[in-house]
Amino acid sequence: MPDEDTKIDHYVLEYRRTNFEGPPRAKEDQPWMVVEGIKGTEYTLSGLKFDMKYMNFRVRACNKAVAGEFSEPVTLETR
């Protein structure tokens, strides 16, 4: 977590699903969903369905000029 005196302005969260309606496709074909402008180090993602697997959650910090590198992706499930 960044120190209080860092220049971080906001965070960007990206995720894409593995469970989806329609014909099966490679996971790389799934679009990234983007949540921008997150001001804190915690965020509640709403609209998820129970018993689904979401993959490739990743986050990066941004200041007013540039964005940092994305974090390592993690896989989460809603149970």
Per-residue pLDDT tens over the stretch 30-51: 788 899 999 988 899 888 777 7
What Rg do the C-alpha atoms of the chain give, in angstroms?
Answer: 14
Instruction: Write down the CATH number for the domain with range 10-77.
Output: 2.60.40
Average pLDDT, the chain: 79
* pTM for the model: 0.73
**What is the per-residue pLDDT for 76?**
80
**What is the per-residue pLDDT for 37?**
92
Separation CA 63–CA 57 (nearest Å): 20
**C-beta of residue 1 within 8 angstroms of C-beta of residue 42:** no
Which sequence spans correspond to the domains of the chain? 10-77
